[in-house]
A and B are shown apart, each in its own frame.
Chain A
């Protein structure tokens, strides 16, 4: 049922693009035909795959670092009051410092390489995840833990079967959100200090004032992100949250 509004939403964006491209010269808003042609050229010569691969690698490893840091720190903050007091300011600092600062520092520390990109992404994106997990633990149903204890479940069984499943929706939601942040930071890092990746390409085509190529690369990345969202995140999420489906409560029919 949600397919129609979704298709309409994407279609309306596309129509707006066509209308704008008719109102402005191609150097300001290039039309879909020119942009898709430019994209096809990059894909045909293999150039697109190399740069997409580099960016996805950095985003992917950066996301892993983000999740490891974010979930660990968020869990400690949620479970221990001392931990909360200790780590609270870290998260505040992490949230306040602009990602560009992380980028510059990492490039200076590690040099112009993938490691710098991954550390910059992880260090800039983890606070958002930490906060989500921290809140998730605070909102957890502790009565269920009491139930586990009453039935003499082992500590590890309580963590695996009662605590972790309650955190899973928070982990998934924060991961989707973090993916967006990681991609934005990655583009910045590539723009400043890398010689490969989508950000580098954007910077290059910006340098030669090719609006068509800038559009083509942005669109290409958008398509990849959509594919990740609909082929990976959505199916995993709907499988893991099957139990929440809105089937009405059964009434006693006897």
Chain B
């Protein structure tokens, strides 16, 4: 059984003048437990809406969504940390409603900060960290709730290329260690090819699945691998073709 399953999901928004704007049209896909799936599409095409529906922050107009478990970790484009809290207290923010004592919370914070390569930074404040480090804290926060599914909404697009390359490699390592199901939204073809087992290419307005692609290449993958480059070239051609239609 898949960890995430969408069947004919559509979403409409009410806009001014009583008109209805279709944002998502007939989205169906399945992501297996422990898989890495990317949703690839141009900016502003409604990709984030798909994540919001899966996280139940919004309701679909029609169709069905099922997920294995309802603990969902979310990583946003911006780190969205609370700057007045230490890094450790940011990581444990979503856990504070469970009745854990302070030492247990602290231990969890340290565990997940070490996992994202930020061991020893527990007592820093977010503004003392670089953008890449802040995004690592955000990933640690999402992992700390031990999510059934990890949703990532263009998490590296605000970072410089060198930092984001490093973070992508580390994300794959973390994925390997934790075995989480990851659904990753991006507008970067290279990023989706490097990371995913499955890519869903989405067209704009309304978002519709234009093409599905499975990438069988084993991990760890190397930047500059010619096979990745080949897939990237094909996908770029698809994208240009999608616009021409």
Contact = CB atoms under 8 A, between A and B. Distances in A.
Interface of A: 143-144, 146-147, 149-154, 157, 161-162, 165, 241-245, 247-252
Contact of B125 (A147, A165, A243, A252): A243
Contacts of B93: 151, 153, 161
Contacts of B130: 249-252
Given A165-B82, A243-B83, A243-B84, A151 B94 contact: yes
Contacts of B76: 143, 146-147, 150
Contacts of B74: 147, 150-151
Contact of A149 (B57, B125, B132): B57
Contact of B80 (A143, A154, A248): A143
16 contacts: A146-B57, A149-B57, A150-B74, A151-B74, A151-B93, A151-B94, A151-B141, A152-B94, A161-B96, A165-B82, A165-B84, A244-B127, A248-B128, A250-B128, A251-B130, A252-B130
B145 interface: yes
Interface of B: 55, 57, 72, 74, 76, 78, 80, 82-85, 93-94, 96-97, 121, 124-130, 132-133, 141, 145
Contacts of A249: 127-130
A147 B57 contact: no
Nearest to A169: B84
Given A241-B84, A243-B85, A249-B130, 4 more contacts: A143-B76, A143-B78, A150-B74, A244-B127
Helix, strand, loop or mixed for chain B's interface? loop
Nearest to A166: B84
Identify the interface centre among A149, A157, A242, A252: most chain B CB within 10 Å of its CB.
A252
B82 A157 contact: no
Contacts of B133: 250, 252
A157 B98 CA distance: 12
A60 to B, nearest CB: 28
A98 to B, nearest CB: 39
Nearest to A147: B80
A122 B132 CA distance: 47
Contacts of B94: 151-153
Nearest to B96: A157
Contacts of B145: 151
B132 A154 contact: no
Contacts of B132: 252
B80 A144 contact: yes
